[in-house]
Chain A
């Protein structure tokens, strides 16, 4: 690991200023991804600015509705929070489907959003990777692609975003509060992460030095249900091959509010807007779920090792929507 200077500023503005002064400086949250990447030589910061105590570590209810999650809140605490478990079960389920108990105790909310891809070529500094070293080429395109993207990839990068939590947040229309050098701003989670295009080195729309201070979840319709399902190579402690986060509200057999996000299939949590548009206002039936899932996945462009993800994503999507309607007693 390269030597670095450690800083622990007293307020968020000081932290932002420390990064503004140094393009190689980085924020440290729980460290579960960053410290690993530093050991691997993928991350090589000169200055590490510890922000794990700078932002909130709790869930607060907002007066205008919804909740605000402190950026430094550990994943384990967020999963266990009674308000989250009761009102946003999809988020609690997604968090507990990720990593291990040991990692969730360290990992923070903002750090989870900003974790880097686990593409094996990205993590191996001896192989070309456009995300790690722009212009060096993509080793995955002609390599081992079981865990790679089937939607929205480019010739420059086929990596997937590894977070479960971010998939649930995308389905919940979460909004990230950011403190930047030029002041605070709000970014919807669905616009936080990018598709790779010809700049795969940029995971997100954040500028260098932007500090995530909290994540807001808007209120859901009171009768809406939500659920997260994750399919992986082993029963526990593995990244998603495919995951689905869905929020669904059905009245008299007709779909009202419907938000769906897919994980493990793209460079960002993939909001299934085609499926949502097809479902909204229509019947909550298995046939309709199947048609919407098929339509959403028509854009898939699988790689040699991951064609299985296309039918898998369709099936899990239908399964999750079926679960949400059956337990609601609707759509029958």
Chain B
């Protein structure tokens, strides 16, 4: 069943007719030619399809395009300015691109997101259980989705926030330091 929808994609209003079954991912890749978001597992497990939907990262393979009429969508292509490189891709702070999807820019946050920032809760139960004392190591290891101050963005916290993205470079150790470096610079910039 075809329906007409409007999306604001990377700042541009786009109107298109899609079958109701079309996911946001397929609409953008197949209809609008935005192939930066990838179709990995297509079941919400790998995170390769991650986009910012109204300022928040989502698995676009599980979002029906018709259900997001009028939404503001930013793909990886939308992070690049008209000229030059997106700041995280340039020197002197290299390899910071993943953090954009882990930690949306303040100007990409949606209404109600004010004050939302790094946070933490829900320390992994396995690590806690492994300690044998039932005590949480700290009130940490969460995601970008819980507002809280004073959470240390340490390696465990960064890894927890990355865990929605399974990628072949998951074993590439420098991603975690790169995110830490960028987050520190971002924090200093504010």
Contact = CB atoms under 8 A, between A and B. Distances in A.
A230 B125 contact: yes
Nearest to A318: B134
Interface string A313-324: 001101110110
B145 interface: yes
Contacts of A5: 1, 20
Contact of B58 (A94, A105, A320, A322): A105
B135 to A, nearest CB: 6
A316 B136 CA distance: 13
Contacts of B53: 105-106
Contacts of B50: 102
A95 B127 CA distance: 18
Give chain B's interface residue range (CB within 8 Å of chain A).
Answer: 35 or more
B181 interface: no
Interface string B99-120: 0001000000000100010010
B160 to A, nearest CB: 5
A146 B136 CA distance: 26
Interface string A238-270: 001001000000000000000000000000000
B20 A3 contact: yes
B41 to A, nearest CB: 10
Interface in A65-83: 75-77, 79-80, 82
Interface stretch (A31-39, A183-191, A210-218, A296-304): A31-39
Interface of A: 1, 3-6, 8, 28, 30-32, 35-36, 38-40, 48, 50, 52, 75-77, 79-80, 82, 85, 89, 92-97, 99-106, 228-232, 234-237, 240, 243, 315-316, 318-320, 322-323, 326-327
A104 to B, nearest CB: 6
B62 interface: yes
A52 B112 CA distance: 17
Contact of A76 (B63, B146, B161): B146
Nearest to A227: B136
Contact of A323 (B56, B63, B134, B159): B134
Contacts of B3: 6
For the complex of A and B, list the 5 residue pairs with the smallest distance between their C-beta atoms, beginning with the closest: A100-B164, A76-B145, A319-B134, A96-B122, A230-B125
A35 B62 contact: yes
B1 A77 contact: no
Nearest to B135: A323
A262 to B, nearest CB: 13
Find the residue from A77, A89, A327 having the highest chain B CB count within 10 A: A77
Given A102-B59, A236-B160, A96 B1 contact: no
Contact of B21 (A3, A236, A316, A319): A3
